[in-house]
Amino acid sequence: MFIKQLSAFIGIFMLILLVSSASAQLSQILPRGNNTLEKRIDELLSKMTIDEKVGQLAQIDYGAIVTDGKLDLTKAREFIVNKHIGSFLNVQGQEAKIVQDIALNETRLKIPLLLGKDAIHGHALYPNGTVFPMPLGFASSWDESLMEKTAAITAAEMTATGVNWNFAPVFDVARDARWGRIIEGYGEDPYLNYRLGLAQVKGYQGESLSDPNSVIATGKHFVAYSETIGGRDYSPADISMRTLYDIFLPPFKGAVDGGIASIMTSFNEINGDPATGNAELVRKTLKDTWGFDGIVVSDYNSVAMLYHTQFVAKDEMEAAKLAIEAGVDMEMTSQCYLNNLKTLVESGQVSMDLLDDAVKRILRGKFRLGLFDGKKTVIDESKLNTPEYKEVALQAARETLVLLKNEDLLPLDLNTVKRIAVVGPLADDAQNQLGGWTMQQPRENVKTVLDGIKALAGSSVEVVYEKGVNITEADVEGVSSGGGVEDLGLGGSTSNASMDAAINAAKNADVIVAVLGEAANMSSEPNSRAYINLPGRQEEFLKALYATGVPVVLVLINGRPLTIEWAAKNIPSIIEAWFPGQEGGTAVAEAIFGKTNPSGKITVTFPKTIGQVPMWYYHSHQKNWDGQEAYGQRYIDVEDEPLFPFGHGLSYTTFEYSDITIVPTTNSIKVSVSVSNTGKMTGTEIVQLYISDRVASLVPMNKKLYRFRRISLDPGHTRRLTFDINVTELSVLTKDGKRVVEPGDFDVLVGSSSDDSKLLKSSFKL
């Protein structure tokens, strides 16, 4: 009951929020109550046997139809023709066309297949697909329109390789830097997650799903998958209703209202109830209350997990029953539905209505994609990684970069620098730079930092390169000692000779560019880390470089906030490049030489030490009366502050905020502020607006992000910005689970980071 009430309130809240946002047109994508469509679905359903219905709910992994690494037509036909399956995972290219043709030509009802794939940062799991920055990095751009554009390119490349269903975007609000999958989403803020994720949904799905270049987008992982215990993957989410409804559900609700066509359930349990068997959240909240009429797909084997690893079912048949009742329409890879649903329905344990509802949703997806209306699978690899797409990938990489620190070193002046030492294990590592969910890409597709610096430095500058150290030191088989990681096959121990060679090269340079960080598979499923420092001997290497006295630019390529306290104190300039994608090296070089001006802002908090984790910017007020942080909510051995706060990111120019005014009307608050470029270079600022509720019936948050805007300003120029906030957005959850707007005083904070000292403040009363 509690959940139902909450859902209703959050529904109204998010609806109003959406109407006032730029993405309102998205609701046009999936017209509801389309009679013709529903008639066609019913008509087809009425012709289907129970076997054909059950088959539609199965998604089979590519691995099941392969022999000796090649598509096995006998196995494929067994699933498509005899078992009537509705979908494959990871079948692409010519093989996608082959299986689609079998479905269209050799099955009784000629129902086309959904072909699903994870393309979370470009079509990176396809050879020669365009690889954009990994989402957490790209989120630093706060650039919805560029995110939409990259998603549209991804969709075009997917359709050119026969794939029509993308398992992206990742709406997991991620707050624990140890968690390996933090890199796959947009960071710790629910509002930003919703805005950026929805922009990508719009790009994937296009104006209409039936367009030739559109694919179905999937919001995943529903829900609270990222609320881990200690950052471990697949761990339970033991979570309050307030956190669930305020932090984890809103991005999904926004996506549903924006027309997303599928949602994936997560592996984790929520307060003991696994997401894939969770009728309260999936059937009641997502489907009944929010009105989601698309496809709910399980995660990989997560239906079978209800029996095999989570022990809420006594066998696979009971797992199937739980999942279908919960509202999971399609089972990914395990075959509990395929093997048991017919029996369950025929014995009356599962109603035909429930089965029909699931089948209709899958058919609806196929109709919406235009698959019944002559949409052809045309494989055309010439459409991949075009010059235009490369340019967009470069722009995405540029906007991904975050200048974490800069003390009079960057940009480098090419008139004075004659010798640059480029060092470090990620300076010329084309594959790791791309991040996870990526297959081996042609070397020539990727610009490493070394490539970029060589290309842009010009002939008068000598560029020397030495790797110096490995990414990790896998000194013990399996798990290495001293804060290392599992042996991820990254090359074993660093030799002293290799380190010495790099130090010697560095000694004779005018400047050192050290490219350090993590391997792609250190930030991935299920690779969480207990230490989030620079792995292996990299910090030792950095200290040795620093000791040469030659100025060091540190470039980080990594998938999570790292504890780089020493570097932040001692190294003059630090660029966070994340996993910046195929053009990352060019973007880094451009920033180093001042051809571009960095503008990214981190969307996760960087802690000083692992002991502060988890750490995020919004938290209960809990101040003392004198305004200081509450007594006791601190450590005795580290300051309260993070190393770098959410929203932080520098520029080569400076911005100043002034003249904040607030005009409350009956339904909305209008906040205006002036932003000036007070430096010497054109720059882009990401203006952030936070609101703090001073008193509420449940302890209010210190601040929450409500709006943001990217603006470009020339030196000496000022722009006046106005933000409209609907009062309903100020609603809070009360003790009895209602969402209400409570009258009182609110502070508005506007500025260039979540750090209070950088925020201009004003107040209003409701």
Within 329-358, the residues that bind ligand BGC by CB under 6 A are: none
The minimum distance between CB 220 and ligand BGC, in angstroms, equals 6
| Residue 118 found at the interface with ligand BGC (CB under 6 A) | yes
Cα angle, residue 688 at apex, residues 687 and 689 outer, rounded to 5°: 125
Q: Specify the residue, 99 or 146, whose C-beta has the smaller distance to ligand BGC.
A: 99
Q: Which residue is nearest to ligand BGC (CB)?
A: 167
Binding mask 724-763 for ligand BGC (x = CB under 6 A): ----------------------------------------
The minimum distance between CB 501 and ligand BGC, in angstroms, equals 41
| Residue 290 found at the interface with ligand BGC (CB under 6 A) | no
Look at the alpha carbons of 394, 589, 423, 606 in this order and tell me if their dihedral is positive or negative.
negative
The minimum distance between CB 120 and ligand BGC, in angstroms, equals 8
The minimum distance between CB 298 and ligand BGC, in angstroms, equals 10
Helix and strand numbers (H, E) in the chain are: 20, 27
Question: Of 221, 235, 257, 273, nearest to 28 (Cα)?
Answer: 257
> Is the peptide bond preceding residue 169 cis, with omega within 30 degrees of 0?
yes
Q: Are strands 58-61 and 331-332 parallel, antiparallel or unpaired?
A: parallel
The minimum distance between CB 308 and ligand BGC, in angstroms, equals 15
What is the Cα–Cα distance from 755 to 648, expressed in whole angstroms?
8
The minimum distance between CB 305 and ligand BGC, in angstroms, equals 11
| Residue 220 found at the interface with ligand BGC (CB under 6 A) | yes
Q: Specify the residue, 333 or 599, whose C-beta has the smaller distance to ligand BGC.
A: 333
| Residue 234 found at the interface with ligand BGC (CB under 6 A) | no
Q: Which residues contact 386 (CB under 8 A, 6 or more apart)?
A: none
Within 548-607, the residues that bind ligand BGC by CB under 6 A are: none
What is the Cα–Cα distance from 337 to 59, expressed in whole angstroms?
10
Q: Specify the residue, 116 or 137, whose C-beta has the smaller distance to ligand BGC.
A: 116
Binding mask 468-507 for ligand BGC (x = CB under 6 A): ----------------------------------------
Question: Is the separation of the CB atoms in 398 and 593 below 8 Å?
Answer: no
What is the Cα–Cα distance from 83 to 765, expressed in whole angstroms?
63
Within 504-533, the residues that bind ligand BGC by CB under 6 A are: 525
What is the Cα–Cα distance from 597 to 348, expressed in whole angstroms?
65
Question: Of 109, 112, 227, 232, nearest to 172 (Cα)?
Answer: 227
Question: Of 628, 612, 601, nearest to 753 (Cα)?
Answer: 601
| Residue 300 found at the interface with ligand BGC (CB under 6 A) | yes
Beta bridge partners of 166: 117
The minimum distance between CB 65 and ligand BGC, in angstroms, equals 16
Q: Specify the residue, 89 or 502, whose C-beta has the smaller distance to ligand BGC.
A: 89
Q: How many residues bind ligand BGC (CB under 6 A)?
A: 7
Exposed, middle or buried by CB within 10 Å (0-12, 13-18, 19+), for 45? middle
What is the Cα–Cα distance from 370 to 261, expressed in whole angstroms?
13
Q: For residue 367, what are its two tokens?
A: 């109709």
Q: Specify the residue, 236 or 484, whose C-beta has the smaller distance to ligand BGC.
A: 236
Exposed, middle or buried by CB within 10 Å (0-12, 13-18, 19+), for 658? exposed
The minimum distance between CB 363 and ligand BGC, in angstroms, equals 22
Instruction: Give buried/exposed letters for 663-690 (b at 16+ CB in 10 A, else e).
Output: eeeeebbebebebbbebeebbbbbbbbb
Question: Of 74, 95, 71, nearest to 83 (Cα)?
Answer: 74
Q: Specify the residue, 299 or 331, whose C-beta has the smaller distance to ligand BGC.
A: 299
The minimum distance between CB 506 and ligand BGC, in angstroms, equals 41
Binding mask 78-97 for ligand BGC (x = CB under 6 A): -----------x--------
Question: Of 29, 59, 80, nearest to 362 (Cα)?
Answer: 59
Question: Is the separation of the CB atoms in 519 and 490 below 8 Å?
Answer: yes
Within 407-446, the residues that bind ligand BGC by CB under 6 A are: none
DSSP annotation string for 286-304: IIIIT---SEEE--TTHHH
- Active-site residue identified among 172, 246, 299, 329: 299
Q: Specify the residue, 92 or 677, whose C-beta has the smaller distance to ligand BGC.
A: 92
Q: Specify the residue, 300 or 546, whose C-beta has the smaller distance to ligand BGC.
A: 300
Q: Specify the residue, 176 or 299, whose C-beta has the smaller distance to ligand BGC.
A: 299
Q: Which residues contact 400 (CB under 8 A, 6 or more apart)?
A: 133, 137, 138, 140, 141, 577, 578, 580, 581, 584, 587, 600
- Of residues 167, 248, 465, 746, which one binds ligand BGC by CB under 6 A? 167
| Residue 121 found at the interface with ligand BGC (CB under 6 A) | no
| Residue 191 found at the interface with ligand BGC (CB under 6 A) | no
The minimum distance between CB 118 and ligand BGC, in angstroms, equals 5
C-alpha distance from residue 376 to each of 36, 96, 164, 315, 372 (Å): 22, 12, 11, 41, 10
What is the Cα–Cα distance from 335 to 332, expressed in whole angstroms?
8
What is the Cα–Cα distance from 154 to 208, expressed in whole angstroms?
16
Q: For residue 23, what are its two tokens?
A: 């993405």
Question: Of 168, 92, 123, 124, nearest to 436 (Cα)?
Answer: 124
Question: Of 150, 145, 141, 204, nearest to 587 (Cα)?
Answer: 141
The minimum distance between CB 479 and ligand BGC, in angstroms, equals 22
Q: Where is 231: in which H helix or E strand?
A: none
Q: For residue 494, what are its two tokens?
A: 């660093």
Question: Is the separation of the CB atoms in 539 and 521 below 8 Å?
Answer: no
Q: Specify the residue, 220 or 360, whose C-beta has the smaller distance to ligand BGC.
A: 220
Q: Specify the residue, 486 or 525, whose C-beta has the smaller distance to ligand BGC.
A: 525
The minimum distance between CB 52 and ligand BGC, in angstroms, equals 25
Binding mask 40-79 for ligand BGC (x = CB under 6 A): ----------------------------------------
Within 668-727, the residues that bind ligand BGC by CB under 6 A are: none
The answer to whether 211 is a known catalytic residue is no
Question: Of 297, 167, 191, 183, nearest to 231 (Cα)?
Answer: 183
Q: Specify the residue, 486 or 656, whose C-beta has the smaller distance to ligand BGC.
A: 486
The minimum distance between CB 300 and ligand BGC, in angstroms, equals 4
- Of residues 172, 299, 399, 428, which one binds ligand BGC by CB under 6 A? 299
Q: Specify the residue, 6 or 99, whose C-beta has the smaller distance to ligand BGC.
A: 99
What is the Cα–Cα distance from 245 to 82, expressed in whole angstroms?
43
Binding site for ligand BGC (CB under 6 A): 89, 118, 167, 220, 299-300, 525
Show which residues are catalytic: 299
